[in-house]
Structure 1
């Protein structure tokens, strides 16, 4: 090697693999830090709005706070007494079991019906697909309080459309029926409302996912003589598995924390038999003015939801490991 070649090799800038700057250089460090700097403002806002609220709620759960303390501006710390009383209450565990069962029933209905509507969207023509998509978007965009009010009108005891139609169809016993007089009937109304609000999200996302499946696979399945069910299980479902897992995860969170629908329909009645954990925390905290107790119940609700989602994610990860 000549002296000029050796000098060029020494003075030339060193680069990493593929021409990238080597690790440790300022440009490489800046490129690595750029994504984190970009999400920093959003992360700061989330921490400020949600994190600080969660911290304050956690502090409140260790206090004995009622109207007396509020008027006197006195902070009375009682350690873990709120948690001990809550966990030792049979009512809390009944509400917890009810919340889990309520969430499971709603999520199953939402996923089944939402997937059927999504598959229908994939098979419709352009005009009918546009019309159905518009209806789904309008139902999805409807505010929760407005939707709840509409369902209260539909199931009204005296002037509700549901009772009128059932009466006209020969079910005369449903004339003047009070849908919020019993636990099961109240839960039925709430479930119909929540499922109706959730189907558009699942259906539209499922349709979007079906557009990523190569059409050649359907053509090959058709040439092999595969029927509708075989095509779905061998072609459609394997491609949509990530969608099913992610959407189910989101629906579990959304249904479990549902408050407005449950409270607005009958305020957790009759006789507090339709209270779920969010409603139970509100009634104990704001209704009975045991604010520390309500905060403790809300923290336990978050812990239970985290446990459910962790268990679900564990199942998902195990399935992915088995497929590898």
Structure 2
């Protein structure tokens, strides 16, 4: 009987079957290195639509605004499609004038007052939301969301009606309370009264964001910390300073940063209430750029003011972030 030879050794593999460093062997199968490269590119591919939209919607208009700031462009040149470059003349005229610096100081003070009031009232309401029951919390949050969701132009129009000189609700209430001299008072006739109306409007629209944000932050604080503080004999104020405030500090920093940006560029509220009047005494930088550019039909000048406004806002933001980072380093 013929003996049968059984091959027990595995035949040598060819270079096409075995690949060095491959996770799965075989033609058409992805290698471990290729899979890692695909995984590394995944986040960038997901960010690509957002980056593209940002460049098209924000980057390109910003470039056009910078180019326009170096041109002498008025209505006649705009109609004739004539481009006249004048270098840095627009910036020289703006920076050497007193109006720009006066409006800049006014804008900074206006932003500081509104941010302080917004953060103070928003923080108090946020802490109140954490203490209320479910029904009262739902009622208060519903009102905050409605105030926050109202369009800016609609809210400004409502405030115009509230503070109207003849038929305004505010004047009627003050008259009924005994201040008869306020029955026919014009809230937009002076600088301070106009700023008062604008400030009330901006704070009313900004407080809901701060309050809801801080209430959400309070839900992340472990209750065990409050129990430990009470066992140590800490009162309400000490519990707030040692437990609540350290947890809320990052949220306060981020919210304040956003409020500085939003309030500094509050064009709609100021322009809708009184158009920067009376006598251009309530203009802030965005309104000043619009009136100089569109109102006076000097578009290059308006573009230069807009670019300077962006630079000032970046400077304020960098200064604020520097303070925040320094405080965080000191805490570590």
TM-score by length of 1: 0.92
Structure 1 residues 116-163: Cα deviation after superposition (integer angstroms, max 9, x where no partner): 000000000000000001000000010100000100111111111111
Q: Residue 87 of structure 1 corresponds to which residue in structure 2?
A: 95
* 3-state SS, counterpart of residue 280 of structure 2: coil
Q: Residue 225 of structure 1 corresponds to which residue in structure 2?
A: 233
Which structure would you say has the larger Rg?
2
Measured in 2, the distance between the counterparts of 1:122 and 1:154 equals 31
TM superposition shift of 1:226:
1.6
Measured in 2, the distance between the counterparts of 1:12 and 1:62 equals 59
Q: Residue 246 of structure 1 corresponds to which residue in structure 2?
A: 254
Measured in 2, the distance between the counterparts of 1:41 and 1:160 equals 48
TM superposition shift of 1:225:
2.3
TM superposition shift of 1:104:
0.3
Q: Residue 20 of structure 1 corresponds to which residue in structure 2?
A: none
Q: Residue 162 of structure 2 corresponds to which residue in structure 1?
A: 154
The total of aligned residue pairs comes to 309
Q: Does structure 1 residue 56 correspond to structure 2 residue 64?
A: yes
Q: Residue 131 of structure 2 corresponds to which residue in structure 1?
A: 123
2:81 to 73, 77, 97: 73
Q: Does structure 1 residue 172 correspond to structure 2 residue 180?
A: yes
TM superposition shift of 1:265:
0.3
Bigger share in helix: 1
Q: Residue 205 of structure 2 corresponds to which residue in structure 1?
A: 197
Measured in 1, the distance between the counterparts of 2:164 and 2:236 equals 42
Measured in 1, the distance between the counterparts of 2:257 and 2:112 equals 11
* 3-state SS, counterpart of residue 251 of structure 2: helix
TM superposition shift of 1:165:
1.1
Q: Does structure 1 residue 312 correspond to structure 2 residue 320?
A: yes
Q: Which runs of 5+ in 2 are unaligned?
A: 1-9, 11-17, 24-31
Measured in 2, the distance between the counterparts of 1:106 and 1:302 equals 19
Measured in 2, the distance between the counterparts of 1:254 and 1:93 equals 21
Measured in 2, the distance between the counterparts of 1:38 and 1:11 equals 31
TM-score by length of 2: 0.90
Segments of 4+ moved more than 3 angstroms = 10-15
2:55 to 47, 63, 68: 47
Q: Residue 110 of structure 2 corresponds to which residue in structure 1?
A: 102
TM superposition shift of 1:249:
0.2
1:113 to 106, 121, 146: 121
